[in-house]
């Protein structure tokens, strides 16, 4: 069944895509089999993370970027991670409606994913969803996230290119920019250039960016609402894509991402399997009892627990 689904994904069938991504989101055992099937067919798509503070116009920019890439004959997959903040919780429906035009096209696929409490789980689901869209033949895969929290940064950097979208005179947000965004951005966009002259904000950003391996992150301005500056933005994305390829950096970055992903996924699986197995362990309950009766301190007990875990029988997935 998963095999059939995988071949549907590889053909770019939208129903199969929807089902496959739901399986990935669910995190059940089929997820592993699905990824097993499609992984050899991944690695062709250019992947882009679009992030930035709430309401800077990321979805609007993504929308126009899809249009521009379509004009250039490239197929586009989009994953929109919804902001979990109660202030922006209404964005889900808005995004869907706004992107509806494109959803109807055959060569564009748009999917939303709810951000849950589980940081590692979301990043993992996002990475695998990118793989599904890639295997489905999308030339470009865009992921939209909000904010500079751990999850967002993890997701926004699980891609080839990270774009940070800001707007003029963000005030406090400029602090947020300094606190995290400037390190992850390969390209900066100051959107809503129609409201306030963006020159000062652009200057501030430009003086804060760091050159990375010969690439000085450019600072662009757009009016996403009208599409102004979007062709130049896509030109810059294509230029960066070429830069990465010419310098072997796409491979290098991918290896680094895989290294982080494997360690994270393994520890996460190990953690949940261990917790399950410990529940049935007498030595674990005894240890807990000793600590609660103050016969043993938590630090010493933690050391003993490491030994108990190391001595557990290998589980079915080992």
Which residues would be at the binding site for Mg ion (CB under 5 A)? 58-59
To the nearest whole angstrom, how small is the minimum distance from the Cβ of residue 6 to ligand GTP?
31
To the nearest whole angstrom, how small is the minimum distance from the Cβ of residue 95 to Mg ion?
5
Q: Pick from 215, 191, 212, 210: which is nearest to 202 by CA?
A: 191
To the nearest whole angstrom, how small is the minimum distance from the Cβ of residue 91 to Mg ion?
5
Q: CA 212 to CA 195: how far, in whole Å?
A: 31
To the nearest whole angstrom, how small is the minimum distance from the Cβ of residue 100 to ligand GTP?
14
**Among ligand GTP, Mg ion, none, residue 223 binds (CB under 5-8 Å by kind):** ligand GTP
To the nearest whole angstrom, how small is the minimum distance from the Cβ of residue 93 to ligand GTP?
11
Q: Which is nearer to Mg ion, 80 or 287 (CB)?
A: 80
Nearest residue (beta carbon) to Mg ion: 59
Q: Which is nearer to ligand GTP, 16 or 60 (CB)?
A: 60
To the nearest whole angstrom, how small is the minimum distance from the Cβ of residue 91 to ligand GTP?
4
Over 202-261, what HEC string results? HHHHHHHCCCECCECCCEEECECCCCECHHHHHHHHHHHHHHHHHCCHHHHHHHHHHHHH
**Among Mg ion, ligand GTP, none, residue 229 binds (CB under 5-8 Å by kind):** none
Q: Which is nearer to ligand GTP, 64 or 75 (CB)?
A: 64
Q: Which residues bind ligand GTP (CB under 6 A)?
A: 54-60, 83, 88, 91, 146, 191-192, 194-195, 223-225
CA dihedral 286, 289, 290, 293 (to 10 degrees): -160
Q: Which is nearer to ligand GTP, 194 or 281 (CB)?
A: 194
Q: Which is nearer to ligand GTP, 16 or 154 (CB)?
A: 154
Q: Which is nearer to ligand GTP, 124 or 221 (CB)?
A: 221
To the nearest whole angstrom, how small is the minimum distance from the Cβ of residue 39 to Mg ion?
29
Q: Which residues pair with 140 in a beta bridge?
A: 46, 76
Nearest residue (beta carbon) to ligand GTP: 57
**Among Mg ion, ligand GTP, none, residue 225 binds (CB under 5-8 Å by kind):** ligand GTP
Q: Which residues pair with 50 in a beta bridge?
A: 144, 163
Q: Which is nearer to ligand GTP, 225 or 312 (CB)?
A: 225
Q: Which two tokens stand for residue 306?
A: 């490491």
């Amino acid at each position: 069944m998963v095999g059939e689904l995988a071949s549907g994904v590889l053909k770019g069938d939208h129903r199969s895509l929807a089902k496959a991504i739901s399986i990935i989101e669910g995190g059940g055992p089929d997820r592993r089999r699905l990824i097993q099937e499609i992984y050899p067919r991944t690695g062709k798509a250019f992947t882009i993370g679009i992030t930035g503070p709430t309401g800077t116009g990321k979805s609007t920019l993504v929308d126009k970027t899809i249009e521009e890439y379509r004009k250039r004959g490239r197929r586009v997959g989009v994953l929109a991670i919804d902001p979990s903040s109660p202030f922006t919780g209404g964005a889900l429906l808005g995004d869907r409606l706004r992107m509806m035009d494109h959803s109807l096209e055959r060569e564009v696929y748009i999917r939303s994913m709810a951000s849950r409490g589980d940081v590692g789980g979301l990043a993992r689901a996002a990475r695998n969803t990118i793989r599904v869209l890639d295997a489905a033949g999308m030339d470009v895969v865009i992921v939209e996230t909000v904010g500079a929290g751990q999850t967002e940064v993890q997701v926004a950097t699980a891609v080839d290119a990270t774009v940070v979208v800001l707007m003029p005179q963000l005030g406090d947000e400029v602090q947020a920019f300094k606190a995290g965004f400037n390190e992850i951005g390969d390209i900066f966009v100051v959107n809503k250039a129609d409201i306030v002259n963006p020159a000062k904000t652009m200057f501030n950003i430009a003086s804060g960016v760091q050159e990375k391996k010969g690439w000085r992150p450019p600072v662009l301005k757009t009016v996403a609402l009208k599409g102004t500056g979007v062709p130049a933005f896509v030109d810059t994305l294509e230029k960066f894509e070429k830069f990465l390829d010419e310098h072997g950096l796409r491979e290098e970055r991918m290896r680094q991402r895989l290294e982080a992903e494997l360690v994270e996924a393994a520890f996460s699986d190990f953690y949940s399997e261990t917790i399950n197995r410990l529940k049935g362990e007498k030595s674990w309950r005894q240890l807990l009892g000793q600590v609660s009766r103050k016969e043993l301190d938590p630090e010493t007990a933690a050391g003993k627990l490491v030994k108990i875990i190391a001595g557990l029988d290998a589980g079915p997935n080992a």
